[in-house]
Amino acid sequence: MLIVVQLLRLCLRGSEELSAELSVALQRCLLGGKSGAGAAIDLSSLIVVEGKACWDLYIDGLVVSSDGNLLDALAAAIKVALSDTGIPKVNVSLNNETDGEPEVDISDEEFLQFDTSGVPVIITLTKVGKHYIVDATSEEESQMSSAVSVSVNSHGQICGLTKRGGAGLDPSVIFDMISVAKNVSQRFYTLLESAIAAAEAVADE
């Protein structure tokens, strides 16, 4: 059985290299290890029949402009998009005449809500001097010595960590940045969940 979760087929106008870099960073934050351990997305929820059939999940992103941290914005967009994603309910029956291959009846009306409880947000802290800047502008990034992107889920667990910039960081600084990112992420979750709830309320009217 093969479960395909492709993150991200990202199109960033004018920069294929940056598109590839962001795609890899998002995969590291969301898909866990090669075995699937630590994955923010529950791959078992995509299984239709163990060993025979499953859903493929593709997430495509198109960035048309940038003024701020793209990685953080893309991660937030993924969480919001998945919160509005439904997996069609499937009825499965095995047909002995087709060598045990399952017959699937996919519902057009019933859907299972995609579980986004483990899908993290990403908080990038840009280090300028002794200060950490959240959601730095391009001008602020031009003055940075390094930047650390911390992937944090709603339970405050760290799902991933990536670093940019040539300057090395003392372990104590990294731990401090992680602590700050966890604190910021909880406030961001509150804002994000309020926005999702407001959008759902409008859709239900």
Tens of pLDDT, residue by residue over 87-118, are 888 887 766 555 666 677 888 888 888 888 88
Contact in structure between 68 and 135 (CB atoms under 8 Å): yes
Dihedral (CA of 123, 181, 82, 55) sign: positive
Distance of alpha carbon 71 from alpha carbon 149, whole angstroms:
8
Check residue 12 and give its pLDDT.
54
119-123, 129-133, 198-202: segment of lowest average pLDDT: 198-202
Mean pLDDT of 132-149: 86
**What confidence tier does 176 reach under pLDDT thresholds 50, 70, 90?**
very high
Residue whose C-alpha is closest to residue 84's, from 52, 113, 55: 113
Distance of alpha carbon 45 from alpha carbon 30, whole angstroms:
15
Residue whose C-alpha is closest to residue 46's, from 90, 101, 7: 90
What phi and psi values does residue 89 have, to the nearest 5 degrees?
Answer: -70, 135
What CATH number does domain 121-204 carry, 1.10.1060.10, 3.30.230.70, 3.40.50.300, 3.40.630.30?
Answer: 3.30.230.70
**What confidence tier does 81 reach under pLDDT thresholds 50, 70, 90?**
confident
DSSP letter assigned to residue 70 = H
Q: Which two tokens stand for residue 97?
A: 């005449």
Contact in structure between 58 and 41 (CB atoms under 8 Å): no
> Percent of the chain having pLDDT more than 70?
81
Give 10-19 contacts, CB < 8 A, sequence gap 24+. Answer: 10/60, 10/61, 10/62, 10/63, 10/74, 11/60, 11/61, 11/62, 11/63, 12/63, 12/66, 12/70, 13/63, 13/64, 18/70, 19/63
pLDDT at 8 over 60: no
Mean pLDDT of 21-46: 72
Distance of alpha carbon 36 from alpha carbon 43, whole angstroms:
8
Distance of alpha carbon 22 from alpha carbon 30, whole angstroms:
12
Contact in structure between 192 and 80 (CB atoms under 8 Å): yes
Check residue 98 and give its pLDDT.
55
Distance of alpha carbon 125 from alpha carbon 179, whole angstroms:
11
Check residue 95 and give its pLDDT.
64
| Average pLDDT across the chain, whole number | 79
Check residue 92 and give its pLDDT.
79
pLDDT at 201 over 60: yes
